[in-house]
């Protein structure tokens, strides 16, 4: 069964450093999303991506963040100048044509900023 | 602002039925989704309601009343593996970005 994959599973970085979180969505999916979940809290929407451009972004997704689909399979989230409060689980999700309502989530990347 | 309210914790007995309620107040509404998340795991899609009424998928059912801004997830014949957190989430725009509730931790006792 096709699945969304994410790498790395755990990323530890120093405050002020840049990190890139990687995702491979399901191959025939068209809509891509990044969410984050601070430990013990609810999931928060960051950004949606369709047709090679950002389609929607939340207030959290400021200039510190950027997304890219560098090739036909990868979808990346870059966080510049990381802060302690960026520590969270970051989930990538994708949904297929005609089924935007059913989002498939990757296993997540746990980001720890020290 | 946008908000979704659901109980923080529900306890039930194995084999029983449990209902998890969700009320929402969002600027946009395309539908109400439910996701299951086990500790340390990723959210898994359970159901989606765009129209009023009941949707049934096996042991799980989901209900929506748009006029009341209310929905619920009904879990029947509870099994120990159903112990997890359950999130309601509103698809708030035509890109179906999800606005999430805080989650309900379902504790199942034998």
Confidence class for position B95, pLDDT limits 50, 70, 90: confident
The per-residue pLDDT for range A1-15, each reduced to its tens digit, is 789 999 999 999 999
Q: Which residues of A touch B102 (CB under 8 A)?
A: 41-42
User: What is the torsional sign of CA A11, A94, A65, A37?
Assistant: negative
CB contact under 8 A, A42 and B102: yes
Residue A104 at interface with chain B, using a CB cutoff of 8 Å: yes
- Chain A residues within an 8 Å CB radius of B50: 101
The pLDDT assigned to B54 comes to 96
CA-CA distance, A22 to A108, in Å (whole number)? Answer: 10
pLDDT digits (tens, 9 = 90+) for A77-107: 999 999 999 999 999 999 988 777 899 999 9
Which positions ≥6 away from B84 have C-beta within 8 Å? B36, B37, B38, B39, B105, B106
Question: What residues form DSSP beta bridges with B64?
Answer: B53, B71
Residue in A closest to B34 by C-alpha = A102
Q: pLDDT tens digits, residue range A32-85?
A: 999 999 998 889 999 999 988 999 999 999 999 999 998 878 999 999 999 999
């Amino acid at each position: 069964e096709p699945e969304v994959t994410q790498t790395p599973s755990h990323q530890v970085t120093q405050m002020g450093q840049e990190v890139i979180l990687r995702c491979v969505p399901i191959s025939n999916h068209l809509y891509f999303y990044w969410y984050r979940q601070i430990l013990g809290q609810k999931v928060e929407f960051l950004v949606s991506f369709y047709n090679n451009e950002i389609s929607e972004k939340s207030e959290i997704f400021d200039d510190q963040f950027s997304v890219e689909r560098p090739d036909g399979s990868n979808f990346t989230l870059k966080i510049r100048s990381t802060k302690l409060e960026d520590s969270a689980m970051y989930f990538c999700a994708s949904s297929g044509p005609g089924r935007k309502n059913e989002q498939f989530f990757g296993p997540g990347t746990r980001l720890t900023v020290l | 602002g946008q908000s979704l309210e659901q109980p923080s914790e529900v306890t039930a007995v194995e084999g029983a039925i449990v209902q998890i309620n969700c009320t929402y107040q969002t600027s946009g509404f395309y539908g109400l989704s439910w996701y299951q998340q086990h500790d340390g795991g990723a959210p898994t899609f359970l159901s989606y309601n765009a129209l009023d009424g009941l949707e049934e998928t096996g042991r799980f059912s989901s209900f929506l009343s748009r006029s009341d801004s209310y929905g619920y997830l009904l879990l029947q014949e509870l099994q120990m593996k159903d112990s997890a957190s359950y999130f309601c989430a509103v698809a708030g725009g035509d890109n179906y970005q999800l606005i999430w509730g805080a989650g309900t931790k379902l504790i199942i006792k034998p």
